[in-house]
Chain A
């Protein structure tokens, strides 16, 4: 599944990132294959996802989130 399938508060382990030239930027914000990421919340109006990865908080748009694949982690 990809990040868009997560619900607020759920944690997931990233299995793949297909973000083109943004892949490296994401990796430096702690979003890379093998990293754990939490979906903190979603913005209203179908907006961005607020993620937390290794202490860094970042916002990504849905289009980009759909290209970050992950597996849900059980609490």
Chain B
């Protein structure tokens, strides 16, 4: 039977109702499931075998209602209203069935045939509730099936149910006659709200389990939050822990093992030095990229378990009051703190953040957090210039964190995170390890395909710049006269205000684009122990500041591009470079001119900041008026809540109706 002839079944439902589990059940697929919103983006279609019948099942993005505006939801609405399918199956969670009643009604009004599949009925029974298929079917007017998707018996019943509805040549005769929903009178026409289910369903009572009560205890939640982050961090990035261990193993296996051996073969066979060098560089880059995998896997796995079990949302809830003051959430802080280990991996963990603006904000801030790859640079400089290198490094890290915090506060002012949001707090439950592993493998495959390819391309270009001169003659990696050298001889002028005049330092900074560890490597190759002679202390401090704020390696850039889009990632990198240089110049100025220059530098810094903020707000004319209007409202709002408005005459005019509504809202707590 050709694919196009198969009957199509649409799966529709709210997020987190087990829709993707049903999809996987029917098709044996590995659609990524999870408590995150937007996990299923875009429809996925696969064939399922329902006993003797075969059908094509489409898993649509989870939606809240068919009238909703977000992109994933529009895709679902288009599919449902398009009508090129045999059956629309609304999947609902037994624990929150009334919530899906409105969605069911919407779908039933638009689809040729609709059924309701209620999942997690075992959990419902466990908390003393029940769902009666016959009564619900009569109440809602569609065929209803209640199963527990995790059990084999449930899967069997599901397939039989669907086959029965679709099966046979004469599909129309087999279909049940359309029933008038007996609850139709309860729902207001065209209203998405208030569609109660009166018969056939009882939610049961469920008090909080002991674990939940512990988790929601403020004395436990906050320390537990930081302990969890520390544990995950340590597991992924700690010395001798699996993350680092595997990272080093993979890197040496691919770069030295495979790359080295291949290069040896090439040289032995009389190949050109350029070819051998290319092989070494290529496998070196590949090794570095693949070595990211273990740490990314650990972070992803940890996050998956925490999100699926409801642990993360509980802790995020408890810590939200604290982090909201700096414009972040608990989940965002997790991603930020992982940045101390690896910026690229941390960027990839921002996927599940509560909303896009927050994700962008975190992606902008992350480069300022010094990743572990910057550590060798700091250590090299600190060891050369300070009598207490460890203390110096600690100070550097503190400075990095302070920088990130400042960035967070500035961004919170300039681009607020778009108002309130409502978070659903999942119940604590045991996550499925099988799903975790499947999701992980899918995710890693995506990483390899997307990021490894982009970054490899960039690395090859860098190798070309380093190994060939402008007449495309091979000069050896970093050899005299290579294109990179010419480039850095020009770029070195950017480093002059830092008191650095050697172009090789510019080169080492450039090599940091590939991997931050190379900066330290280059410095030691070029200067060895003679670093204090090459740079003054002021320059060293300035260079450290530069390293602290400069944009991260190209892998992190690729990760950022994947999360927030290419344009924004490049903009963030450009901004980061500019701030890095500015910061370095400022540090150098402070160190050389001493305390006299400090107030002047401070004033200049503040002016730059203010200019920078204004510039961003005024980029487009609409932005200016919107920002100004917003500011005016807030200002106005402060006046109102101070109670002064009672003395001022009310404003007239169209724009002010919006303000007045806000006034009303602001005033009600006072009068209420």
Contact = CB atoms under 8 A, between A and B. Distances in A.
Given A25-B422, A50-B425, A64-B422, A30 B99 contact: yes
A50 B627 CA distance: 32
A40 B226 CA distance: 24
Interface stretch (B281-289, B315-323, B380-388): B315-323
B99 A28 contact: yes
Contacts of A44: 218, 221-222, 318, 321-322
B317 A43 contact: yes
Interface in B417-447: 420-427
A29 B454 CA distance: 42
Contact of A54 (B203, B318, B320, B427): B203
A29 B613 CA distance: 38
B194 A32 contact: yes
Interface string A16-40: 0011001011111110111100001
Contacts of A56: 96, 99, 424
A54 to B, nearest CB: 5
A13 interface: no
A41 B425 CA distance: 12
A24 B669 CA distance: 23
Given A24-B65, A28-B102, A47-B317, A60 B203 contact: no
Contacts of B14: 28
A57 B99 contact: no
A54 B96 contact: yes
Contacts of B65: 24, 28
A59 B423 contact: yes
Nearest to B69: A21
Contacts of A27: 192-194
Contacts of A2: 668-669, 672
A50 B193 CA distance: 21
Interface in A35-75: 35, 40-41, 43-48, 50, 54-61, 63-64, 66-67, 69
A32 B317 contact: no
B192 A28 contact: yes
Nearest to A17: B193
A48 B64 contact: no
B539 to A, nearest CB: 43
A43 B318 contact: yes
A31 to B, nearest CB: 8
A29 B422 contact: yes
A64 B67 CA distance: 22
B173 interface: no
A24 B672 contact: no
A57 B566 CA distance: 37
A59 B67 CA distance: 23
Interface residues of B, number: 40
Nearest to A5: B672
B324 interface: yes
B68 interface: yes
A49 B222 CA distance: 17
Contacts of B665: 18, 67
A58 B423 contact: yes
A41 B216 contact: yes
Contacts of A24: 64-65, 67-68, 192-193
B95 interface: yes
A61 to B, nearest CB: 6
Q: Interface residues of A toward B: which range? A: 35 or more
A30 B427 CA distance: 16
Nearest to B320: A47
Nearest to A44: B218
B327 interface: no
Nearest to B420: A64
B98 interface: yes
Interface string B49-88: 0000000000000001101100000000000000000000
Contacts of A40: 208
Contacts of B194: 27, 32-35
Nearest to B14: A28
Nearest to A58: B424
A66 B423 CA distance: 16
A33 B192 CA distance: 12
B321 A47 contact: yes
Contact of B98 (A26, A30, A63): A30
Interface in B563-596: none
B207 to A, nearest CB: 10
B35 to A, nearest CB: 13
A54 B64 contact: no
Contact of A59 (B95, B102, B317): B317
Nearest to B97: A55
A45 B322 contact: yes
A50 B218 CA distance: 13
A69 to B, nearest CB: 8
A18 B317 CA distance: 23
B424 A46 contact: no
A24 B422 CA distance: 11
A44 B216 CA distance: 10
Given A24-B65, A24-B67, A54 B321 contact: no
Contacts of A66: 668-669
Contacts of B425: 50, 57-59
B420 A57 contact: no
Nearest to B664: A18
A60 B318 contact: no
Interface of B: 14, 64-65, 67-68, 95-99, 102-103, 192-194, 203, 208, 216, 218, 221-222, 317-322, 324, 420-427, 665, 668-669, 672
23 contacts: A2-B668, A2-B669, A25-B422, A27-B193, A28-B102, A29-B424, A34-B194, A43-B319, A44-B221, A47-B317, A47-B321, A48-B321, A50-B317, A54-B203, A55-B95, A55-B98, A57-B426, A59-B422, A59-B424, A59-B425, A64-B420, A64-B422, A67-B665
Given A4-B669, A24-B193, A59-B317, 11 more contacts: A25-B64, A30-B98, A44-B218, A47-B320, A48-B423, A58-B425, A59-B424, A60-B422, A60-B423, A61-B324, A66-B668
